[in-house]
Homo-oligomer: A and B are copies of this chain.
Amino acid sequence: MKFTKDHRSNSVTFAEPSLDLEEVAGGGTSSRHAYDNPALTTSASDLPEALRGETVYRTNLGGSNNFQVIEDPHAQQHTSFKHKLESALLQAKKRFCGVWTKKTLFKRFPILRWLPEYNGDCAVGDLLAGITVGLTVIPQALAYANIAGLPPQYGLYGSFLGCLVYIFLGTCKDVPVGPTAVAALLTFQSLNGKGIEHAILLCFFTGLVQILMGIFGLGFLIDFVSGPVSSGFTSAAALIIVTSQVKDLLGITASGNAFVETWKSIFKDIHNTRLWDTVLGVTCIVILLLLRLVAQINIGKTREPTKVEKMINKFMWVFGTSRNAILMIVCGVVGFFFCQQGEPPFKVIGAVPQGLPDFKVPPFGYNVENNGTVTHVSLSTMISDLGSGIIVVPLVGILENIAVCKAFSNGKPIDATQELIAIGTSNIMNSFIQSFPGTGSLSRSAVNNASGVRTPLGGLYTGILVILALLFFTPYFFYIPKATLAAIIIAAVVFMVEVKVVKPMWRSKKSDFFLAIATFVSCLILPLEQGIVVGIGINLIYILYHAARPKISVEKLFSQQGTEYLLLTPDRCLIFPSTDYVRNLVTKHSIRQGIPVVIDCSHIYGADYTAATVIESLTSDFASRDQPLLFYNLKPSVSSVFQGLSPKDFVVFYNHEDVDDLLKNRSCIKKQMEIDA
């Protein structure tokens, strides 16, 4: 922390160590120069002097360097290019050396922060939450493997090692790493009919891309997925997942990657609908939705609940929360009895291999035997098969994970870099035990949080439970009806369709609502990963258009001494896509009115070379028309950009009383010239 006491203006400037010291300190200190001018002070934050009162400290925070507002031309000169380069090198050196400091160690291994303070209370909370999440993850894992189009055991394979890795690297106590519905769906779409080898390789690359994103600080990329795009994507994904489960619910065979395709395939086979699968599936969905309500029941909430009431509430919450596990066990028992008496009336999962997966290198290429001939599938073929999935799966995965973190952060900032490293490492490790890509699951994190988890150590118990299931319970999974798993998925993901955001989004901003709809529709009709790219693309076009078409308000005013002039106020910064538009508007109004023009630059916080060329041609146009053009309240940093082109007759003023003098001088010169001629 650096404090600079300035007695003259009674203000202390401080700069944070995490920011570029030169820039901020320079900007902060120098701003006092500029603000000695009362006109500028008002403009600085639009706050009247009275409200401003006594300044105690001031700093400018980070922000886009490219359009950095530096209030003083001298500061610009101080930070010459050579100087900047030197400080950048210093920063890079610091950053490199910083890898080995204690602070970085604590940042990269968050377990070091919470483990020393671990106590009995934490242990109890983590144990209970870990077991509850474990009971949730086992049925989900079996079901999500089905979404990914893989045998059920692969879901379980991906559900324990990630949790254990996250204990050491994770920053958010509520995140349970493992298979999720959206990740499974994206895996299914990326596989495009290919086998488990591709899924494992995808898991490896997902982890690799996430770690690389973390190392290169690309976590900010997820900022470019806005709320509406994310809502549209998630809702479409939920619908596609429901669609993918309908075939198991009806006991028919259907295939297809996308939404429309799958429904077509379903309707083609709908005449083969099996009665008992359908009955069982629908019953399960109804029971699950009812149990979901049971978990929310709260007896005696209007007054202080008694002990008994508290116990009943607790029991009902546990009962409702473990609904998936309970239903799976009950249906498994039913399936077992039917199987004892011969062919069951509904389809069951079938054999699930017992035991833990082998620990081995992911398949970077493999051999396929077809009619006795062995063909080798190379790594490059596999990568080109996976296509854009290698980018989209890690990106959406981390997006989902950050969404989980945010949901329980209570406004605290998320360390996206560390989360990328944690989830990336989990995925890479998982790829060594034949798992498909996973991430932090929103549904299980809610269970985790509500079960009173205290630290990421809860994942230990979840992991142990899954390992136990793999070691001892797999023979019993044989009897679980497929329709039950389909029901578990449908009853869970149907709430991912974000109907509740429609109304506030419509009320808040119509264009965002249409953006969400557009994303939703394109995710349904295109492959999911292309759909989200369309949504993001439309959203970026919004930003670009918005940069290209600023608003300019036009006012015809009289100065104190009665000179009439035109005041033009652009409302945002001048950068290349908007410059010609602004020039045309300014020229049109100036020629039409033919009176002196003042451009109020209070809101122009940045400019580029293209803007400077336009200002240069504007000033020379005005000079050739002999029409005065003045710039009011132009920030010195922006002014220096304009002055790089040495525009002639470039007049900037900061004090509103100067306008009369400036205009008078100009007309004097003009008259003088007329007399001379």
Contacts and interface: CB of A to CB of B under 8 A. Distances in A.
Contact of A47 (B53, B605, B632): B632
A617 B45 contact: no
A545 B169 CA distance: 29
Interface stretch (A245-253, A288-296, A518-526, A568-576): A568-576
A412 B67 CA distance: 29
A610 interface: yes
A78 interface: no
Given A39-B48, A576-B223, A609 B509 contact: yes
Interface in A644-667: 644-646, 656-657, 659
Interface in A506-520: 506-513
Contacts of A30: none
A43 B43 CA distance: 8
A545 B575 CA distance: 13
Given A228-B610, A413-B584, 20 more contacts: A46-B46, A51-B557, A51-B659, A53-B557, A54-B557, A55-B557, A62-B551, A69-B551, A224-B548, A224-B576, A228-B609, A410-B624, A411-B621, A507-B644, A508-B645, A509-B612, A512-B609, A540-B544, A546-B606, A572-B605
Interface residues of A, number: 113
A556 interface: yes
Contact of A57 (B42, B81, B556): B556
27 contacts: A42-B42, A43-B46, A44-B553, A46-B603, A47-B567, A47-B632, A50-B656, A51-B632, A58-B554, A61-B551, A63-B550, A63-B571, A223-B578, A223-B581, A413-B587, A504-B609, A505-B644, A506-B644, A508-B643, A508-B644, A508-B645, A509-B612, A543-B543, A544-B544, A546-B547, A551-B605, A572-B573
Contact of A560 (B53, B63, B556, B581): B53
A613 B544 contact: no
Contact of A508 (B61, B547, B555, B612): B612
Contact of A576 (B58, B227, B605): B227
A587 B409 CA distance: 12
A334 interface: no
Contacts of A337: none
B656 A51 contact: yes
Contacts of A59: 553-554
A534 B503 CA distance: 41
Contacts of A220: 548, 577, 581
A411 B504 CA distance: 46
Nearest to A223: B577
A602 B504 CA distance: 25
B224 A63 contact: no
